[in-house]
């Protein structure tokens, strides 16, 4: 069983030719509303794409925005520990997606900031606790320490990027970050390998966008080049990666196998619009990994070179 403790946001998404620069107004195209939030996205990915028994601890307001979020989680067969916050709105995110598939996101966290240490449910039967940083850092730290004490593996997706207390990092078993988030966590930012050397976490996975990803397990490194897809919307791809990675580990897969499945799932998520709506089914992931059995030598060399491992 995986417990995801984190955020749930209703996403208001507009497509545009490009993401506005400061002070610029851009005429948009399509507008849609999707269930999202890093925590909820990862919980749906664990259950739907990863096929793992999943529970989620979340906080929502008593407003109309909460309903679609809770319905989406239930549809994905995620069990819920819901904290209702009467005096706060449900979290919302405002997302602009460019024709290039890149996005810019602003989050109004609302009720997400009301999750407190006392809200953590019993951890009996939980193998992994998966968290992000859209809930208060003291709460994340308290949950991590409680899980460590109970022998539960702590997985932290350190997003959005921000400095973290040492006591939190010391309680983390697996850290998942992108390049920017990794650089934020270290005192002397440099190349990827330089930054990894400054992180005292047993396993660190760095997602590298269209290049692929790099994992450091102790002193050993593992790379996974990206899968070939045509991107439509990158929203939720990172969350899909996190959820599928943890689901695979929960079911006994090795790190290399888990990273390969997670990379395929994230690639498929980029081919569809929205966050939770883009998360693929487990069969779609199997089909992609079966058809793209090996990365091209050129892509692998480019990834190794970028990571400083060539």
Q: How far apart are CA 114 and CA 248, in angstroms?
A: 30
Side-chain-side CA neighbours of 307 within 13 Å: the count stands at 27
Helix runs in the chain, H state only:
38-44, 66-75, 137-149, 166-169, 179-185, 192-196, 237-250, 255-269, 282-291, 297-307
Lowest model confidence (mean pLDDT) among 32-41, 195-204, 288-297? 288-297
Residue 86 CA to its chain's centroid (Å): 27
| Spatial separation of the C-alpha atoms in residues 283 and 272, rounded to whole Å | 16
Q: What is the pTM of this model?
A: 0.92
User: Catalytic site residue 239?
Assistant: yes
CA atoms within 13 Å, Cβ hemisphere of 100: 6
Quote the pLDDT of residue 294.
67
Q: Where are the chain's structural domains?
A: 2-8+36-90+111-307
Of 239, 250, 253, 284, the active-site residue reads 239
The residues pairing with 105 across neighbouring beta strands, listed in sequence order, are: 95
Q: Where are the alpha helices (DSSP H) in 114-165?
A: 137-149
Residue pLDDT, tens place only, 96-153: 989 888 888 898 999 999 999 999 999 999 999 999 999 999 999 999 999 999 999 9
Q: Is the pLDDT of residue 305 over 90?
A: no
Question: pLDDT (tens digit, 9 = 90+) per residue, 50-104?
Answer: 999 999 999 999 999 999 999 999 999 999 999 999 999 999 999 898 988 888 8
Architecture in CATH for domain 2-8+36-90+111-307: 3-Layer(aba) Sandwich (3.40)
Q: Are 236 and 201 in contact (CB under 8 A)?
A: no
């Amino acid at each position: 069983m995986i417990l995801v403790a984190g955020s749930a946001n209703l996403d208001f998404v507009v497509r545009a030719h490009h993401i506005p620069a400061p002070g610029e107004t851009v005429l948009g195209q399509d507008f849609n509303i999707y269930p999202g939030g890093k925590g909820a996205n990862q919980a749906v990915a664990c259950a739907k794409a990863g096929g793992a028994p999943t529970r989620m601890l979340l906080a929502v307001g008593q407003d109309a925005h909460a309903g679609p979020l809770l319905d989406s989680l239930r549809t994905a067969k995620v069990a819920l520990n819901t904290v209702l916050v009467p005096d706060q709105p449900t979290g919302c995110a405002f997302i602009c997606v460019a024709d290039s598939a890149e996005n810019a996101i602003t989050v109004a966290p609302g009720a997400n900031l009301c999750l407190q240490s006392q809200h953590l449910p019993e951890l009996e039967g939980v193998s992994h606790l998966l968290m992000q940083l859209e809930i208060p850092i003291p709460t994340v730290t308290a949950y991590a320490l409680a899980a460590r004490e109970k022998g539960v593996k702590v997985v932290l997706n350190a997003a959005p990027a921000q400095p973290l207390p040492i006591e939190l990092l010391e309680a983390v078993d697996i850290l998942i970050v992108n390049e920017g988030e990794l650089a934020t966590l270290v005192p002397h930012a440099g190349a990827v390998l330089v930054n990894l050397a400054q992180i005292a976490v047993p396993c660190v996975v760095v997602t590298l966008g269209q290049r692929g990803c790099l994992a450091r397990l102790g002193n050993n490194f593992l790379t996974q080049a990206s899968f070939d897809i045509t991107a439509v919307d990158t929203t939720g791809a990172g969350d899909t990666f996190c959820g599928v990675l943890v689901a695979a580990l929960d079911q006994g897969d090795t790190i290399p196998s888990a990273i390969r499945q997670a990379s395929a799932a994230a690639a498929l998520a980029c081919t569809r619009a929205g966050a939770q709506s883009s998360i693929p089914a487990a069969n779609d992931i199997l089909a992609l990994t079966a058809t793209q059995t090996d990365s091209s030598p050129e892509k692998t060399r480019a990834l190794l070179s970028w990571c400083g491992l060539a």
